[in-house]
Chains A and B, each alone.
Chain A
Amino acid sequence: MRYLPKSDAERQEMLAACGLTSAEALFAQIPAEARLQRPLDLAAGISEYEIADYFKSLAVKNAGALPSFLGAGVYRHYRPVVVDAVVSRGEFLTSYTPYQSEISQGTLMTIFEFQTMICQLTGMDAANASMYDGSTAVPEAAMMAARITGRRGALVARSVHPEYREVLRTYARYQNLPVEEFGYDAQSGQIDFTDLDAKLNAEIACVILQSPNFFGIVEDARKAAELAHSKGALLIFTFSEAVSLGILEPPNADIVAGELQSFAISPSYGGPFAGVIATKEKFVRQLPGRLVGQTSDTNGNRAFCLTLATREQHIRREKSTSNICTNQALIALMATVFLELYGKQGLRELATQNLAKAHYLGSLTRPRFTGPYFNEFVARPPAEPAEVNRRLLDRSIVGGLPLERFYPELAGTMLLCATEMTKRADMDLVAEALA
Chain B
Amino acid sequence: MIRKVRSHPTQNEDVIFERSSPGKIGYQLPPLDVPEVDPAAALGNEHVRASIDGFPEVSEVEVIRHFTRLSTWNYAIDLGLYPLGSCTMKYNPRINEAVARLEGLAWAHPYQPENLSQGAMEVCARLEEALCEITGLDAITLQPAAGAHGELTGILLVRAFLESQGNARRKVLVPDSAHGTNPATAATAGYAIHNIASNEHGMIDLAQLAAVVDEDVAALMVTNPNTLGVFEANIVKIAEILHAKGALVYMDGANMNALAGMARPGDFGVDVMHLNLHKTFSTPHGGGGPGGGPVAVRKHLEPFLPTPRLARSAGAFTWDYDRPQSIGRMRAYYGNFGVLVRALAYILAHGGPGLRNATVDAVLNANYLRHKLAPHFDLPYDGPNMHEVVFSDERQSAKGVRTGDIAKRLIDYGFHPYTVSFPLIVHGALMIEPTETESKQELDLFIDAMISIAKEIEQDPQMVLQSPHTTRTSRVDEVTAARKPILRWR
Contact = CB atoms under 8 A, between A and B. Distances in A.
B196 interface: no
Interface stretch (B22-30, B209-217, B242-250, B454-462): B22-30
Contacts of B145: 132-133, 136, 271-272
A135 B332 contact: yes
Given A104-B75, A136-B145, A110 B70 contact: yes
A294 B264 contact: no
A268 interface: yes
A218 B43 contact: yes
Contact of A82 (B60, B75, B95, B351): B60
A156 B394 CA distance: 54
The 10 closest A-B pairs by CB, nearest first: A270-B333, A330-B286, A59-B104, A90-B78, A45-B351, A61-B119, A42-B352, A63-B116, A272-B290, A174-B190
Interface stretch (B295-303, B395-403, B475-483): B475-483
B251 interface: no
Interface string A42-66: 1111101011101111111111111
Nearest to A70: B109
A427 B328 CA distance: 36
A276 to B, nearest CB: 12
Contacts of B20: 343
A186 interface: no
A213 interface: no
Contacts of B345: 51, 55
A250 interface: yes
A62 B119 contact: yes
B331 A133 contact: yes
A136 B113 CA distance: 25
B99 A132 contact: no
Classify chain A's interface size: 35 or more
B288 A337 contact: no
Nearest to A360: B34
Contacts of B463: none
Contact of B37 (A1, A132, A304, A356): A356
B130 interface: yes
A221 B328 CA distance: 29
Classify chain B's interface size: 35 or more
B130 A42 contact: yes
B124 to A, nearest CB: 9
Contacts of A51: 95, 99, 345, 348-349
Contact of B56 (A315, A333, A344, A350): A344
A94 B357 contact: no
A29 B149 contact: no
A98 B26 contact: no
A383 interface: no
B206 interface: no
Nearest to B90: A3
A131 to B, nearest CB: 9
A130 interface: yes
Interface string A145-165: 000000000000000010110
A429 interface: no
Interface string A10-31: 1101110111100100111111
Contact of A247 (B49, B64, B442): B49
Given A55-B102, A295-B476, A269 B334 contact: yes
A295 B480 contact: yes
Given A94-B77, A269-B109, A307-B485, A327 B268 contact: no
